[in-house]
Chain A
């Protein structure tokens, strides 16, 4: 794939981010490189930007994943000497209670994303963009 291909993929990704209510992940300001000599910022090339955007998506999914909840709960219960933590709830400002134990199972999605990133990384960046 060439730079034009990567930019096309970025456009698709930006639209998907907007569709899931995560437009901030598409903000180009997060994907810039500052030249230490001139102080000027410029966008990463498409290959690099696409990878960073997909990794940002991965972090977003991780904080919604039941596996993260289970890991944290087990770690807490492994550390405390007395009393056990059954679950973790959040009381919203309007008094509504949300139980974090009901977080969705997203491990499969995260695994698929990891595979996708690896496949995209296999495609070398265009020669003019390598630095």
Chain B
């Protein structure tokens, strides 16, 4: 392929992409904002939790993501989750939730710093803004085409507001609840927290955050 042929091929590709792309500006914006990627990550999480022995059911007919995060409402569609061997609902999975931070718990802060958003949460809470210690697993989803160190700094900040650092690592809350295989996290309370990212370059940033109880998971559709 020479230069002229390559230029023609690139231009033809973009013409095809533009023609096929969503014409609905609102839909295009939500796709660009990563809502479909959130759904993809959620599907991976649901599949993983099932393989770890938890039983999941969906309450509702349409799952609803929100353009801006908010509180838990059990009237919103969500997943219910039972521990292995449990007959009752132990946890619920919600999306686009703000939680009351560890810092708020310590200081009683009432300004805008009292809450942070997590894209996907597994929680014991049933309404309102969950406390930091009511979140047993949280996932941040980043579908930026190019991974940057700023993403790592961001999730380290959220982890700071979920738990204290503790060493040695301890069994995660979901492991204590019977989930298998055993997962250890350097956090108290030992919630699991991860960053799901699309750009494989993120694999170069996994080791240091793990020491603080942050897992990085590469998920690319």
Contact = CB atoms under 8 A, between A and B. Distances in A.
Most buried by B among A21, A75, A87, A119: A75
A21 B10 CA distance: 16
A98 B64 CA distance: 10
A25 B62 contact: no
Interface in A96-129: 96, 98-100, 102-106, 108-109, 112-113, 116, 119-120, 122-123
27 contacts: A1-B1, A8-B7, A20-B18, A60-B145, A63-B34, A64-B22, A65-B221, A67-B221, A72-B42, A76-B46, A79-B43, A80-B46, A81-B56, A82-B57, A84-B58, A85-B61, A86-B61, A86-B62, A88-B63, A89-B65, A90-B64, A93-B67, A98-B24, A100-B31, A104-B21, A109-B16, A109-B20
Given A108-B20, A113-B13, A102 B27 contact: yes
Interface of A: 1, 5, 8-9, 12-13, 16, 19-22, 24-25, 27, 30, 56-57, 59-65, 67-69, 71-73, 75-76, 78-94, 96, 98-100, 102-106, 108-109, 112-113, 116, 119-120, 122-123
B30 interface: yes
A19 to B, nearest CB: 7
A101 B108 CA distance: 42
Given A85-B58, A109-B13, A123 B1 contact: yes
Contacts of B42: 72, 76
A7 to B, nearest CB: 10
Given A62-B221, A85-B62, 18 more contacts: A13-B10, A16-B11, A68-B40, A71-B221, A73-B43, A79-B49, A80-B57, A81-B57, A88-B65, A89-B62, A90-B35, A91-B67, A100-B30, A103-B22, A103-B36, A104-B22, A108-B16, A120-B6
Contacts, number: 197
Contacts of B198: 59, 62-63
B26 A1 contact: no
B10 A80 contact: no
A64 B43 contact: no
B64 A91 contact: yes
A131 B66 CA distance: 47
A62 B221 CA distance: 6
A120 B65 contact: no
Which 5 pairs from chain A and chain B are nearest by CB? A82-B57, A30-B146, A83-B58, A72-B43, A75-B43
B46 A106 contact: no
B65 A90 contact: yes
Most buried by B among A9, A12, A98, A105: A98
Given A98-B30, A106-B17, A116 B43 contact: no
A91 B67 CA distance: 6
Contacts of B29: 92
B9 interface: yes
B65 A59 contact: no
B112 interface: no
